[in-house]
Structure 1
Amino acid sequence: MKITDAQIHLWSGAGAPPHHIRAPFTIERALSAMDEAGIGRAVNCPAVWDPVANEYAEQAAIAHPDRFATMGWFSLDSSSGPSAVDAAMSRTGALGLRFLLYAAEAGPILASGALDWLWSEVNDRNLPVALMVLPEHLPLIGPIATRHPQMRLLLDHLAIGPFDKLPQAAGHLDALLSLAEHPNVAVKATGTPSMATDDYPFGSVQGVLRRTVDAFGPERTFWGSDITRMSCTWRQCVTMFTEELPWLKGHDLELVMGNGISDWIGWT
């Protein structure tokens, strides 16, 4: 089984937030750790705190096209437009976009239609776009997905924040799972150990994972680690899915562990 991590961050500079490792997570460091954990390749979401992370992502994809692909970002300010999408998608290894909208002020922006130009561009280009949103903004995602059926949306971390713990962390699960009715919406089951209230193999999160796979199916539920903020090892992030979920086996397991995300973003 070829394992693809649906979300990591590579960066070479300083400035990482305190819930991530503070030292740069370089290409070489990632490759060594991936080999040790048995991970074939990873989708790099360039670190938003490093202003040259998109350039560094391109370096990774050029040097190791079989190990790294990119979902890049740009600033969503008044100067943004179709040319920003052109620039992002022209980079070697770029397969889609990813934006961090995990803030209270993102709600009015999503509701106002201020980003409709972006959704239209992504829809017209049939691109995948990943979003990290607050749980209270999940009801805004369905109408966007409906209006732009060719846009392939990915919701990061099951919309669970880095400091959220069960049971509160899953308080929005019904709202998240209701989005499964939209065939162009998928979820990343990334960073799930962070919400656990117990140690490996994190049995406290199994119920959330099973409900998610039941709703979205294994073809729209993607394993990943967000490893630079995990307290467990990368190998444990893998084996909690491959060895500790008795209800996830065979073809379904292969989809969750890499084939699904590869199909969704077109990483052949």
Structure 2
Amino acid sequence: MTAAERTEEHTVEIVDAQIHLWQGDGAPPHHRQQPYLIEDALAGMDAAGVQRAVNCPAIWDSAAHTYAVEAAVRHPDRFATLGWFPLDEHAGPASVDALLALPGMLGLRFMLAAPDAIAALTSGGLEWLWEAAQRHEAPVALMVLPEHLPLLDGIAGRFPGMRLLVDHLAVLPFLALPQAAAHFDGLLALAARPNIAVKASGVPSMATDAYPFRSTHDVLRRTFDAFGPERMFWGTDITRMRCTWRECVTAFTEEIPWLGGRDLELVMGRALRTWIGWH
């Protein structure tokens, strides 16, 4: 059976695990430098055959959360949100309560790569955050440095009712293979925790070849074998991709010979919607 036949045989709902919407300036150099508006995303999704997308409000735009709510209210069948707030002295359980009360807000997402965030993570200073997320039964997506992956194992063990998502397979955006996957033994070890999943997002950024990015297939197969289709979620982080949204889709749906049928449906969106409660 060809890849096209595998895709045609099963109606695959495609849900992007991570995009950013924003209106202001200040995007980092590895993302597009123009605002990425709701209308831009809808046009790109329609052209690529993407039904839904999870918006992670851009950390460089102070109004990104207001815009995320607007997107979810205007298009609740197209956008949902994993939101954030500054992890400063004002943050606490009430911050989680307030954030998750917003329309379309299904969970949390934090980048724990800045010095203050790293200090909080490594010192155990975020226990209140994990406790609040578990109380809400809310998913939490994290972008962490590869050396901090072992900490997620302990967090997942202490808070088994909280569902964690590791962004971008913990691959840093400027690295290409093989350096990009040097941490993979540590990442795959997390699969032993049933409440940890991974976003296979931004995969083309680590490729050493052009579309269909076959240089990434071994990494994806190792991830799939460890986490299974219920805990490996396709996504793009489209505003830093150098290929089209459609190519990001078909690199999975048509070009990976071992991914088809129910497994393909799960990886391309169904499993993500279950994990974050987007019903």
Flag whether TM exceeds 0.5 (same fold): yes
1:183 lines up with 2:183 in the alignment: no
Mapped to 2, the partners of 1:118 and 1:173 lie a distance apart of 26
Mapped to 2, the partners of 1:253 and 1:105 lie a distance apart of 39
CA drift of 1:79 comes to 0.9
- Which residue of structure 1 aligns with residue 152 of structure 2? 141
- Which residue of structure 2 aligns with residue 158 of structure 1? 169
Quick one: which of 115, 118, 133 aligns to 2:126?
115
- Which residue of structure 1 aligns with residue 44 of structure 2? 33
Opposite residue 55 of structure 2, the aligned amino acid is: N
CA drift of 1:104 comes to 5.2
Mapped to 2, the partners of 1:90 and 1:52 lie a distance apart of 17
**2:191–2:197 Cα contact (<8 Å) kept:** yes
Spell out the pairing of 1:208-227 with structure 2 (5 A cutoff). 208-227=219-238
**2:140–2:163 Cα contact (<8 Å) kept:** yes
Mapped to 1, the partners of 2:116 and 2:30 lie a distance apart of 22
1:201 lines up with 2:212 in the alignment: yes
Quick one: which of 243, 247, 256 aligns to 1:236?
247
2:108 match: secondary structure: strand
CA offset digits 1:111-136 (Å, max 9, x no partner): 21100000000011111000000001
CA offset digits 1:118-172 (Å, max 9, x no partner): 0000011111000000001001110000000010000000000110110000000
**1:10–1:46 Cα contact (<8 Å) kept:** yes
Opposite residue 233 of structure 1, the aligned amino acid is: T
TM-score normalised per structure 2:
0.95
Q: Bigger relative contact order, structure 1 or 2, given CA contacts below 8 A and separation 6+?
A: 2
CA drift of 1:102 comes to 2.2
Structure 1 spans left out of the alignment, 5+ residues? none
Structure 2 spans left out of the alignment, 5+ residues? 1-11
- Which residue of structure 1 aligns with residue 105 of structure 2? 94
Mapped to 1, the partners of 2:40 and 2:120 lie a distance apart of 37
CA drift of 1:107 comes to 3.8
Mapped to 2, the partners of 1:33 and 1:123 lie a distance apart of 34
1:12 lines up with 2:23 in the alignment: yes
2:149 match: secondary structure: helix
- Which residue of structure 2 aligns with residue 85 of structure 1? 96
| Paired residue total | 268
Mapped to 1, the partners of 2:151 and 2:51 lie a distance apart of 35
CA offset digits 1:205-259 (Å, max 9, x no partner): 0000000010000100000000000000000000000000010110000000000
2:234 match: secondary structure: strand
- Which residue of structure 1 aligns with residue 60 of structure 2? 49
Q: CA RMSD in A?
A: 0.8
**1:11–1:56 Cα contact (<8 Å) kept:** yes
1:132 match: secondary structure: strand
TM-score normalised per structure 1:
0.99
Mapped to 2, the partners of 1:73 and 1:88 lie a distance apart of 8
CA drift of 1:184 comes to 0.3
CA offset digits 1:156-206 (Å, max 9, x no partner): 000001101100000000100000000000000000000001000001000
Opposite residue 144 of structure 2, the aligned amino acid is: V
Quick one: which of 258, 266, 279 aligns to 1:247?
258
